[in-house]
Amino acid sequence: MLHLLRASTRAARASKSPQWIKQWPGRICPSHLLQACSGGNRQAFSHWSRKQLGTIPTAVVNTLLDAVHAVPVSGADAVPTAKREPWKKLPTTCPGCGAPSQTVDREAAGYYGETRRKRDAKHSRQQEEDAIFKQAVDNESVDGQSAAPTKSPPVATADSTPVCNRCHMLHHNGAGSSIIHPSMQSIQAIIEESPHRHNHIYHVLDAADFPMSLIPNLQHALELPRLRTQNRRSKSMRYIRGRVAEVSFIITRSDLLAPVKEQVDGLMPYLQDVLRDALGKSGQNVRLGNVRCVSAKRSWWTKQVKEEIYGRGGAGWMVGKVNVGKSALFESTFPKGRGREVSPELKTRLDSENAAAADSAHLGDGINDALTVVQPVSELYRPLPEAYQESEIDALDDEAFLNEDEARLLPPAQPETAYPRMPLISSLPGTTASPIRVPFGQGKGELIDLPGVERNTLEHHVLREHRSDLVLTSRVTPEQHVIKPGQSLLLGGLIRITPMTEDLIMMMYPFLPPSLTPHVTSTEKAIAIQTGFFTETNEPYAGTVPSIATPPAKTLMESAGSFPLPTDVTKKRAGPITAVAAGKQKAHDLPYIVYATDILLSGLGWVEVVAQVRRGACGDPGKVPEVEVWSPEGKYVGQRRCMNGWLLGGPRQGPVRERRTRGRMSIDFQRRKAGGARGGPG
């Protein structure tokens, strides 16, 4: 309490507070309040306050007296009070990672330590005291008279819910360990326990290595309906055992692809074609109108996705591999501050959908028929009370543990608030340990963040001090590296790209994090840096080029295969020669062809490889240049058609007025242009 009075006095003098608080006498020690309060003589203290404190309103003094009475006083006059617990009750699950709360294993997720509990309790008490003092200041009227302050207990919100020690260390220190990643069978079992009739699966993909983060055969693994085909009679909604489950593809971190939102929007046809190729034979005849390319960092298309989540209702499931940005997407697309009332249009739509679900209930078996019971909208969206009583919250938290016979994989949902605490965002793979259920709209639906599926990355082959720098956090403007015959491109001493076509110059543009430093050198030296010794002499490499690979990883270097350059980018790379306003040449009439491709590194980024060859120089018309990639165990490498990221996000071109103009032509050129050296006709 003493620190509260001192801090409040200093802050009030520096701010535009009422005149009486600015004239608070600094010579008076706040311990006088404790002495006056110890005897319980409120009338004597009021007389003393008028004499010593001047024009302080009585209501403020009374409010401060109530706060001081709550502070335990030592001495003979001290009243024995019950021991105050650090936290009234631990949450059922940690709101940051979703792990069940526990106080046993310090190294496991969901652990709450005694030290942090006491420190957070002290901070909570300070906030309560500050709120009391602020209430006393706000209750003063303009004419100097004050009404008796109404003391109301602080309302607990989800934002004040503490997180476990692991989330605390990850957020503040960036230190923590990954959890065991679940399998697709576990994800399927979790989704099957959904209490909602309408479920929507958001398949989250990473733009850095798109489409390597795609989960193959997601519909088959989760037993979901097939994607809607291009047939005009294809149904837009399919019910299975009285439930409906739709799938949408969301490509996150789209700000890594291009600097401007309009450029990313122009890439949508390209992204749909790449996704169609990744889906395989089953994706050739599929509608891909459910693909979104968003950026939580730049707020690109997050508002549209948020409105879709709120409009659909039901359960929205974030499914994807680790480190694809599910938690960041969750925070930017969760409908906060919504759901005070349900519109009549929404009730009509939901009633019709429930009736359609009841008509298709005969498709289910006997076990799942219980899920098809139609409830009226008034029961589904019954308005919740403004605030739960503490006993009711405890009952809700303990609901999942009342029956130990039922081992449920889906934990209970958090208490619904307008602005709940969001899941923790971290670059550590496997931050989310268990499903995190956050309801919205007063029972309209909930958004569920699931743990990430295992993703094959190079993390275990990289030195520990460089693992935190393997995530691409912002767009990269790469440098152009020219690879001549007999040379290779080395990336952090871990990945090597070697051209296989002889007598051909290639250009490479690495869109990778800074830890994978590009280095162009001879192929022999590149092999020595990557493996640690020279191939011919077996001498160890003792150069100065750094490598982030671990010693065991240097012995596991294998060829990931040869990758051709199939994409013809002649028209885009030719510049003004093929422009309509300049050369007006056709790309197929030029004497050369420019081939390109994107080499993908799982979870890291991509390298754009470009080569220009003379038309017909390869002999066979179908033969194109190739490159060979070497990586640990010959894994973690993929390929996609070229996106031309260098043309989209390369070095920024200045305005035309600031560009350097071409210099003055020589006199000899002017003579030849006029008609020869003698000035006669040419």
- Secondary structure of 564-630 in the HEC alphabet? ECCEECHHHHCHHHCCCCCCCCCHHHCCEEEEEEEEEECCCEEEEEEEEEECCCCCCCCCCCEEEEE
Which residues, 6+ apart, have CB-to-CB distance to 517 below 8 Å? 491, 492, 546
Radius of gyration of the chain (CA): 34
pLDDT at 553: 93
State the chain's mean pLDDT as an integer.
76
The predicted-structure confidence for 303-341, as pLDDT tens digits, reads as follows 999 999 999 889 999 999 998 999 999 999 999 887 645
Residue 510 CB burial class (10 angstroms; 0-12, 13-18, ≥19): buried
Which residues, 6+ apart, have CB-to-CB distance to 90 below 8 Å? 101, 103, 112
The pair of structure tokens assigned to 387 is 């605030």
The predicted-structure confidence for 382-431, as pLDDT tens digits, reads as follows 343 433 344 443 444 444 344 443 457 888 888 888 889 899 998 888 88
- Of 59-68, 378-387, 562-571, 652-661, which gets the smallest average pLDDT? 378-387
Residue 439 phi, psi dihedral angles, 5° rounding: -80, 160
For residues 60 and 235, what is the distance between their CA atoms, to the nearest angstrom? Answer: 67
C-beta separation of 317 from 191 below 8 A: yes
Of the candidates 538, 526, 522, the residue with the CA atom closest to the CA atom of residue 496: 526
For residues 596 and 566, what is the distance between their CA atoms, to the nearest angstrom? Answer: 6
Distances in whole angstroms, Cα of residue 200 to Cα of each of 197, 238, 305, 319, 435: 10, 12, 12, 10, 15
The predicted-structure confidence for 221-237, as pLDDT tens digits, reads as follows 887 877 888 777 777 77
Query: Hey, is 491 helix, strand or coil?
Result: strand
Tell the residue number behind the tokens 């199939």, with chain if given: 566
C-beta separation of 449 from 582 below 8 A: no
> What is the DSSP secondary-structure string of 317-328?
EEEEBTTSSHHH
pLDDT at 159: 59
pLDDT at 52: 46
The predicted-structure confidence for 6-60, as pLDDT tens digits, reads as follows 444 444 444 444 443 434 443 334 444 444 444 444 444 444 444 444 444 545 5
pLDDT at 352: 61
For residues 512 and 600, what is the distance between their CA atoms, to the nearest angstrom? Answer: 10
- Of 398-412, 462-476, 562-576, which gets the smallest average pLDDT? 398-412
The predicted-structure confidence for 83-138, as pLDDT tens digits, reads as follows 444 455 778 889 999 888 888 888 888 888 877 666 666 766 777 777 787 777 77
CATH superfamily of 178-338+411-455: P-loop containing nucleotide triphosphate hydrolases (3.40.50.300)
Is pLDDT above 70 for 79? no
Q: Residue type for 352, please?
A: S
Is pLDDT above 60 for 5? no
For residues 95 and 593, what is the distance between their CA atoms, to the nearest angstrom? Answer: 55
pLDDT at 286: 86
Better-scored residue on pLDDT, 532 or 385: 532
Is pLDDT above 80 for 373? no
Residue 338 phi, psi dihedral angles, 5° rounding: -115, 170
Q: Residue type for 593, please?
A: I
pLDDT at 343: 52
Distances in whole angstroms, Cα of residue 410 to Cα of each of 98, 338, 406, 434, 479: 10, 24, 11, 8, 48
Query: Hey, is 460 helix, strand or coil?
Result: helix
Is pLDDT above 80 for 146? no
For residues 539 and 20, what is the distance between their CA atoms, to the nearest angstrom? Answer: 83
pLDDT at 605: 94
pTM over 0.75? The answer is no
- Of 55-69, 127-141, 282-296, which gets the smallest average pLDDT? 55-69
For residues 179 and 434, what is the distance between their CA atoms, to the nearest angstrom? Answer: 10
Q: Where are the domains of the chain?
A: 90-124+162-177, 178-338+411-455, 460-649
For residues 296 and 63, what is the distance between their CA atoms, to the nearest angstrom? Answer: 45
Size (the chain), residues: 682
